[in-house]
Structure 1
Amino acid sequence: MKNDEPTVGRRAVLRTAVLLGVAAAGLITSGSEGGMPAAPGAGGPAAGPGPNPAAGAPGMSAQRLSEKSYRLRPMTSEAPARPAAVKPAVRTRPILELPADEATASAMVLTFDDGPDPRYTPGILDTLARYDVRAMFFVCGEMAVENRDLMRRMAAEGHVIGNHTWTHPLIPKLSRPALASEIGRTSEVVQKALGEAPLWFRAPYGAWNRAAFEIGAELGMEPLAWTVDTLDWQEAGAATIVSRVLGGAGPGAIVLSHDAGGNRTQSVQAISSYLPQLLARGYRMTLPAFPTPPRR
């Protein structure tokens, strides 16, 4: 897409110049207020934003760009999105909590890894919808490719979809080309299903390395970790998961749970209990805005 952007820009400029020239010659009759012609391409493909160039996806037709698509917005309703064309800086560690300016209102983030799984993800989505809460889902490509409708539901209901690699490997054991494939293929599946590539990345097991930060940044993603680990993969019971979430709750907290990767029945049961309790305590479930670049 990078190679296409200058061409699209020149075409838009040329189209505008031609129409203005014709209007000046009296050959265009405008029905708009004040007699001024409507801006060419307004609301059309040339005026709208293109897909994220960082995703490295193949060219997308103008017709497809003009169609309604699910839009991922990894931000709070008050915060502006980071321009899609701007790649994040390469970090040396993942983001561990919400920035202070977002955490002052007792804001927390709920995140779910390893899905989507048709056995458990719908139950979690149902609970989130019941309380009008948004969350983040870090999907594995091998699950996402088989459950694209679930991803579309996530996006349609306002949740953010992140990249969790293709097969959930231990990153430090992979070669750089293998890791690039794991991350890149997953972003591509999300891009094809939703029309926009993910903007957040999480390393399986929380095992990061330099290559993960570099490849993620090259694909336009910020690395996100967590502050509260429910350890729900241990299947210790819904009550234990609830206790861990409530015990770790606090402004800026990022909660890690799972909606796949094993029997997640307890995770589904737990969120129906801890979510209303968090809300009753005054916590606000939110989505992180893109932070400022890390200091050098």
Structure 2
Amino acid sequence: EPGPAAVAAVARTTPGRSDSDDLLAILRSPEAHAPRNAPRIRLLGPVDVAGTLGTAEPGALPRLTELAVYLALRPGADHHALDHDLHPGAAHLDPHPTASGTKSPLPAKLADLAAWFGDSPEGRAYLPTEGTDGYSFAPAVTCDWDEFRSLYRRGMRSTSATADAALAHALALVRGAPFAEAPPASYGWAESERQDMIAAIVDTAHELAARRLQYGDHRSAEAAVFRGLAVAPDVELLHRDLFYAYASAGARDQLLRAVNRLDALSRRTGRDLDADTVALLRDLLAGS
């Protein structure tokens, strides 16, 4: 994170790359959410599955979606892991019991999930369920979180224009807070993954904003920060990035509005501002 003295330096920055319009177009593009030609599991916002080729009972869709998410996040999971996390009361049950035993609901759900996802144009099941110890989707089935991580790694390798574009493409995949609108009793098993997603989105937004401010590209920096704040509105690192962007652009009115928004948020949550935020605001508001 740049120090307060960096704000003035940003304003004097030498002319940088002129890819601001390209990055803004990526960040604002709906293409990141366009349907693919195979099923796609989306976690970076409200959880859903797009592009399935089969059918399923409408009432079963929430449970089947959660099972699909589990297999997307933990490919190769076996019966025991699936039952342990998704059917805690059934973890000890035999998936293929004798007539007197109690049956796990998992085999039927896996069959329903395979039927819902359907088959590829070549006739292969998107979820193979025959003769397997663990369950994984076919490679054609995609997940936005996998794509985000791939773009993140590409973007962090260097500070080139291509790398910045990769970070922008990653942020464009974010439709809202991960697992938004999920039913309260579901996805408890995915809490660590959810926290990882939030942290990665915040890190990506901060990194892209910091890079763009070095080039005096305030618009892309602002757009990147807003993507992060939509997911983690109380992360003050991102608010500080926004303050830098407005101060270095000489946009005092926007700076004051942004400060007021954070102040209102801190009052609402009863949390004091970080010392770093207070020190930065003292410098920015005194010098603007």
Mark yes or no: TM-score above 0.5: no
Normalised by the shorter chain, which TM-score bucket? under 0.3
**Higher RCO (Cα < 8 Å, 6 or more apart):** 1
Q: Which has the higher helix share?
A: 2
With structure 1 as the length reference, what TM-score do the two structures score?
0.20
Q: Which has the higher strand share?
A: 1
